[in-house]
Amino acid sequence: MQKRAHKTGRANPWVILGLTALLAVTMAVSCMFGAVDISMDDIAGRSQIFWQLRLPRVIMGALVGAVLSVCGAAYQSIFRNPLTDPYVLGVSSGASLGAAVAILLGLEAYLWGVGGLALAMALMTVLVIYKIASIGNRMHTTTLLLTGVCLTLLISAVISFLMVLNQEKMDSIIFWTMGSFGSSSWTDVWMLLPVAAVGIGVVLWYSRDLNLLLAGSEAAQSMGCEVEKVKRMLLLFTTLMVAFAVSSCGVIGFVGLIVPHAVRLVAGPDNRKVVPYAILCGAIFVLVCDTLARTVLRPSELPVGSLTSMVGAPLFIYLLYKNKKGF
């Protein structure tokens, strides 16, 4: 039995330690490269770039990567659907519409003008979706998913319409929707950090319940899971995390869908492992992508959202091929 014992249950502390060390190294390396390279001895000389641009950007990259991955892992279990990603409930489309409207109104000049409106619209969209999908005090997850998909399509159409009417601002809107940490500041960090810390804590706390939810709501309930409460708490905090993340850096795809799956392929399906590993792997993955995004074609930058797909897809296909197992 001992052989099985270590394979089930909570995350392995050595893996956590190793991934944390890897994250620290990745952050340090990421701090050094960009439009201007900064060596360790040079931090004092380029303190403005390092403290005001590079460091908040690196922290945001790690935070957003962690948030998207943890939310992806949670959603895939709540909805019992391997294809769900953090944007499935319409958070990203709501945020994009908010950002598009803000850009059209010329709010880019104001601190958190675009981000603020994006956040407000993201939360409003999800509220509408929840309202439609809740029956009494119960949340119907299939209706939730379908409403999210429908509203996302509707909002995308509205954004396209707005862009056609305002072609001179099309580039800014498209660039925002592709996601970038180019304008990340300490304000973004301080906005996202507390939400991410609490939200990640909540998902970790309920990671055992996520396993039970995979067996279906009634089965989970008969095994002692307070299904409705757990779902409500998880949906509330994941939505908040994604809304704050997406409104500060735009839509970064692929991470929330694939990182949890990649972790599952290596560590198995137990969410008590998947959630903490995905948090760290997601942070590392987005950091690596963002570092590549700002160095590959420097001094110009690639949108990090396209990099996450370009780097992540081959890596994931390799893992799938190597493991040769389905979901």
Partner 1 sequence: MIEIKHIRVEFGKRRILDGIDATVAPGRITAVMGPNGCGKTTLLRCIGGLLEPTAGSVAIDGQLVGSYTARGLAQKVAFVRQQAQTDFEFSAFETVLMGRNPYQHHLQNESQKDWDIVEQCMKQTGTWHLRLAKPGEMSGGEMQRVMIARALAQQTPVLLMDEPVSNLDIAHQLEIMRLLRTTDKTVVIVIHDLNLALQFCDDLMLIHNGKLLFHGPIAQGLTTGNIGTVYGVKSHMAEGRIIFDY
The residue ranges that bind partner 1 (CB under 8 A) are 1, 4-5, 8-10, 80, 82, 205-206, 208-209, 211-212, 214-216, 218-219, 221-227, 264, 268-270, 325-327
Rounded CA separation 279/287 (Å) = 12
DSSP secondary structure code for residue 124 in this structure: H
Pick 8 or 47: Cβ nearer partner 1: 8
Please report how close the Cβ of residue 313 comes to partner 1 at its closest, in angstroms. Answer: 21
Nearer to partner 1 (CB atom), residue 55 or residue 213: 213
Residue 209 CB, nearest approach to partner 1 (Å) = 8
Structure tokens at 323: 């493991």
Return the number of the residue (82 or 314) whose C-beta is nearest partner 1. 82
Closest to partner 1 by CB, 206 or 244: 206
When the beta carbons of 73 and 284 are compared against partner 1, the nearer one is 73
Distances (CA, A) of 6 to 1, 12, 110, 219, 271: 9, 8, 53, 26, 15
Half-sphere exposure of 8 (CA within 13 A, CB side): 7
Partner residues linked to 134 by β-bridges: 139
User: Could you give the CA distance from residue 137 to residue 57 in angstroms, rounded to a whole number?
Assistant: 40
> In the bound complex, what is the minimum distance in angstroms from residue 10's beta carbon to partner 1?
5
To partner 1, the closest distance from the beta carbon of 21 in angstroms equals 23
Alpha helices in the chain, H assignment, sequence order: 2-5, 13-32, 47-48, 55-78, 91-104, 113-133, 141-165, 170-178, 186-205, 207-213, 217-222, 227-249, 255-267, 271-295, 304-323
Q: How far is the CB of 253 from partner 1 (least distance, A)?
A: 22
Least gap, CB of 94 to partner 1 (angstroms): 29
**Pick 212 or 304: Cβ nearer partner 1:** 212
Please report how many Cα atoms fall inside a 13 Å half-sphere around the Cα of residue 55, on the Cβ side.
11
